[in-house]
Amino acid sequence: MVFSSLLFLFRFLPIILFIYFIVPKRFRNAILFLFSLIFYAWGEPIYVVLMLFSTVVDYTHGILVEKFKNEGQIKKAKMVVASSMTINLLLLGFFKYSDFIIQNINQLFKISIPLLNLALPIGISFYTFQTMSYTVDVYRGQAKVQKNIISFGAYVALFPQLIAGPIVQYKTIDNQLNNRKENFDQFSYGVMRFLSGLGKKVLLANNIGLLWDTVQKIPSMELPALTAWLGITAYAFQIYFDFSGYSDMAIGLGHMFGFRFLENFQYPYMSKSITEFWRRWHISLGSWFRDYVYIPLGGNRKGLPLQIRNIAVVWLLTGIWHGASWNFLFWGVYFGILLIVEKLFFLKILNRLPKIFSHLYALFFIWIGWVIFALEDFGKVGEFLKAMFGGGAGFANTSTWYLLSNYGLIFLILIAACTDFPKRITIRLFGNSEWNLAEEKEEKTIIKQKLRIAASSIFIVTIFLLSVAYLVDASYNPFLYFRF
């Protein structure tokens, strides 16, 4: 099931909200667990077993780690962690990468091992990463062991972040699992977040996605440079608003049920370097690799050569995490190289240059990255890049102007929406408002508060009604993360 559907809004959500809040607190995790399973099984009735398996594995491993640690048998505890890692990675490897590996072996040795043709279980890359983090956190003493399998199941299957993240590390919601206090303020904030996410996905991402869809279908020989740039810009906006929209919805839903997930996006397209971009884009994935790969490998503490090796490893993995295909691996390597170059010397130069140049530099390389990411086939990537620099069909043609006339206004809206401009303007107009959970200063006037109530009510109703209208029409509403 996905959030951006009538099914979710008008069946699943009302039912779970109702049941969740009428049952006594001690049953709430069970309700969450049960409904999360339904949420997952709706689209993947068989693979839900896989998720349950992963849950049981890490539940038992967690307990074992704790037991051995208490008995002082650190070596055994380590073995258990290794076993958990192995099982999770085998699971992920088997379902996600086996066909990719078979294909490459076939090609390399000119043989033909039959493919398994397994459908990728949705969200497997997210939940295996979460369950692994649990066992490691317990081993490191950063999290308490979870003795209650229902609570642990609720953590693994938690439907808000189940299928498209953010990747919630166990230690960050350890306490919340059994001792959270749902309250009205947090619920309201959750509603606001959920609706901004829904709007981002349904109204912005789907809309501009159509443009990328159109441009993608144009043969590269007929593709003028400007159209190619419009197309890849459309993709950049689509994936950002889609992905961060999902994260907003996840974080929002989390708040409704009393959880506080960490932020996953922080205006990535405002970055002034690639290093900064990756601190602002899919933050939960970056932190996961930092905490469970980069730092264990030694991070930056063992000298520059080893640090560069560590960066390289992390980025190979980051790339291939996004999908079992060479282009994703290459995409990771591409960013790895840029990050190493920045680390070695370029960041120092960038800092001295005018801001505008740094912004353009970052966006340029992010955009080229999206070409590699979106097109999946190296031949197509090459042709598209060529077209972007005039090697397709000149600079522009009639259809370029047509696309611009159709999408010009939407582009302006998207450009504004991917910066912190809307947030700053609402704060200026209405004071420090719903958008921010931070404690407010004393109200200046009662008028400002009334304005705020009016504005947020209008915001909620408008976004909601428009999103429903787009969902009823249901012409274009893709799920972009089926390869993750």
Partner 1 sequence: MEEQKRNKKSIEKLLPTMLFLLLIFGFTAISLFTPIKKFSENENRVLAQRPKFQWNSLWKGTYTKDYETFITDQFFKRDAWIGIKTWTELAMQKKEINGVFFARDDYLIETQKKEEVDTKQLEKNEEWLLKFISKYEKLFGSDRVHAMLVPTASEVLADKLPKFAQTYSQQKLLDEMKTNFPKGTFLDVGETLKQHTEEYIYYKTDHHWTAQGAYYAYEQWAKACEFLPWDSSKFQIEKVNDSFYGTIYSKINIKTTKPDEIYLYQTKETYQVEYDMDRKKKDTLYEKSHLETKDKYSVYLDGNHGIVQVDTNIQDNADRKLLILKDSYAHCFTPFAVNHFPVTYMIDLRYFNMPISQFIKNYQITDILVLYNVRSFITDKNLYKIVR
Which residues does the annotation mark as catalytic?
A: 322
Of 27-35, 95-103, 351-359, 401-409: span binding partner 1 (CB under 8 A): 401-409
Which pair of structure tokens corresponds to residue 94?
Answer: 């088997």
- Which of 11, 348, 423, 483 is the binder for partner 1 (CB under 8 A)? 11
CB of 477 to partner 1, least distance (A): 10
Q: Which of 162, 167, 178 is nearest to 253 (CA)?
A: 162
Distance CA 373, CA 322 (A): 9
Angle CA(239)–CA(163)–CA(315) in degrees, nearest 5?
Answer: 60
CA dihedral 388, 390, 394, 396 (to 10 degrees): 40
**Nearest distance in Å: CB 447, partner 1:** 13
Rounded distance between C-alpha atoms, residue 362 and residue 474, angstroms: 35
Q: How far apart are the C-alpha atoms of 449 and 295, rounded to whole Å?
A: 46
The answer to whether residue 98 forms part of the interface with partner 1 (CB under 8 A) is: no
Output the smallest distance, CB 216 to partner 1, in A.
Answer: 9
Window of 213-221, 240-248, 303-311, 375-383 that interacts with partner 1 by CB under 8 A? 213-221
Applying CB under 8 A, the span of 58-66, 210-218, 291-299, 348-356 interacting with partner 1 comes to 210-218
Nearest Cα neighbor of 26 from 184, 183, 180 is: 180
DSSP state of 117: -
45: contact with partner 1 by CB under 8 A: yes
Which residues fall within 8 angstroms of residue 49, CB to CB, at 6 or more apart? none
Following CA atoms 210, 214, 215, 217 in sequence, which dihedral angle do they give, to the nearest 10 degrees?
130
Regarding 383 and contact with partner 1 (CB under 8 A), the answer is no
Task: Give the Cα separation of 232 and 235 in Å (integer).
Answer: 5
Q: Does the footprint of partner 1 cover residue 22 (CB under 8 A)?
A: no
Contact 205, 249 (CB under 8 A): no
- Could you say which of 296, 303, 390, 408 contacts partner 1 (CB under 8 A)? 408
Give the residue among 403, 420, 424, 417 at the shortest CA–CA distance from 463: 417
Distance CA 340, CA 317 (A): 15
Quick note: the x/- pattern for partner 1 over 425-454, rule CB under 8 A, is ---------x-----x--x-----x--xx-
- Can you say whether the dihedral through the CA atoms of 212, 214, 217, 222 is positive or negative? negative
Considering only 147-155, 164-172, 270-278, 396-404, which stretch makes contact with partner 1 by CB under 8 A?
396-404
313: number of Cβ within 10 Å: 15
Candidate residues 117, 179, 405, 445; the one interacting with partner 1 per rule CB under 8 A:
405
Q: Which of 205, 194, 173 is nearest to 251 (CA)?
A: 194
Contact residue for partner 1 among 347, 410, 427, 480 (CB under 8 A)? 410
User: Closer to partner 1 at the Cβ: 103 or 399?
Assistant: 399
Q: Nearer Cβ to partner 1, position 128 or 227?
A: 227
**C-beta closer to partner 1: residue 71 or 185:** 185
CA angle centred on 14, ends 11 and 17, rounded to 5°: 140
Q: Is 399 in the site for partner 1 (CB under 8 A)?
A: yes
Closer CB to partner 1, 7 or 116, in the complex? 7
Supply the minimum distance, in Å, between the C-beta of residue 142 and partner 1. 31
- Please state, in angstroms and rounded to a whole number, the distance separating the CA atoms of residues 26 and 165: 26
Q: Should residue 402 be labelled a site residue for partner 1 when binding is judged by CB under 8 A? A: yes
- Please, what sign has the CA dihedral across residues 136, 94, 376, 482? negative
Residue 456 has a CB neighbour count (10 Å cut-off) of: 19
Q: Which listed residue (20, 27, 34, 42) binds partner 1 by CB under 8 A?
A: 42
Candidates 59-67, 100-108, 331-339, 394-402; binding stretch for partner 1 (CB under 8 A): 394-402
Q: Considering CB under 8 A, how many residues would be counted as binding partner 1?
A: 59
Q: Could you say which of 43, 93, 299, 422 contacts partner 1 (CB under 8 A)?
A: 43
Q: Which is nearer to partner 1, 34 or 460 (CB)?
A: 460
406 binds partner 1 per the rule CB under 8 A: yes
If DSSP codes are grouped into helix, strand and coil, which group holds residue 71?
coil
State yes or no: residue 184 binds partner 1 (CB under 8 A). Answer: yes
State how far Cα 229 lies from the chain centre. 24
233 part of the interface to partner 1, by CB under 8 A: no
Q: Of these, 115, 465, 482, 483, which contacts partner 1 (CB under 8 A)?
A: 465
Q: Which of 383, 434 has the CB closer to partner 1?
A: 434
* By CB under 8 A, residue 401 contacts partner 1: yes
304 lies in the site for partner 1, by CB under 8 A: no
Select from 50-58, 243-251, 380-388, 403-411 the region that touches partner 1 (CB under 8 A): 403-411
Among 10, 53, 395, 421, binds partner 1 (CB under 8 A): 10
Of 188, 163, 171, nearest to 133 (Cα)?
171
**How far is 275 from 343, CA to CA, in rounded Å?**
8
Q: Where do contacts with partner 1 occur on this chain (CB under 8 A)?
A: 5-7, 9-11, 13-14, 17, 42-46, 184-185, 187-189, 191-192, 195, 203, 207, 214, 217-218, 398-399, 401-402, 405-406, 408-410, 413, 434, 440, 443, 449, 452-453, 456-457, 459-461, 464-466, 468-475
